[in-house]
């Protein structure tokens, strides 16, 4: 599907990389593909790579929360990685509580977090 790229990193983790054609204002158009991929691979965690996202506005934040909800319905942990300082700052401007999804500095840190959460 255009807009997202899903990669199986291991049985435990899937990497989601958003593309330039991602439309965060219409999250429902990605739901079937993401849920199907998570279920088919029996994923424990979804790692969302924010390395190419320079700003997180309210629409993008809503997209991330929608994706987190999809993951919860699949009993999958969602962790965002590689959030730039400008994206974090943009997010902080309108956030009134901590996001439901987890954050980590790198893909490897996210993988460790997912494995620890599922084992613990």
Burial readout 4-40 (b: 16 or more C-beta within 10 A, e: otherwise): bebeebeebbbbbebeeebebeebeebeeebeebbee
Write the pLDDT tens digit of every residue in 29-78.
999 999 999 999 999 999 999 999 999 999 999 999 999 999 999 999 99
Which pTM value belongs to this model? Answer: 0.92
- The confidence score (pLDDT) of residue 2 equals 83
- The confidence score (pLDDT) of residue 24 equals 96
**Domains and their CATH numbers in the chain:** 4-119 (3.30.750.24)
């Amino acid at each position: 599907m255009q807009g997202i790229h899903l990669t199986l990193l291991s049985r435990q983790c899937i990497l989601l990389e958003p593309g330039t054609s991602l439309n965060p204002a219409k999250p429902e158009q990605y739901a079937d593909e993401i849920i199907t991929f998570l279920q088919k691979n029996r994923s424990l965690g979804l790692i969302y790579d924010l390395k190419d996202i320079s700003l997180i506005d309210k629409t993008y934040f809503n997209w991330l929360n929608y994706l987190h909800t999809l993951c919860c319905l699949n009993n999958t942990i969602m962790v965002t990685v590689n959030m730039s300082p400008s994206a974090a700052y943009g997010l902080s401007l309108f956030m009134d509580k901590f996001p439901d999804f987890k954050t980590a500095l790198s893909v490897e840190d996210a993988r460790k977090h997912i494995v620890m959460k599922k084992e613990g």
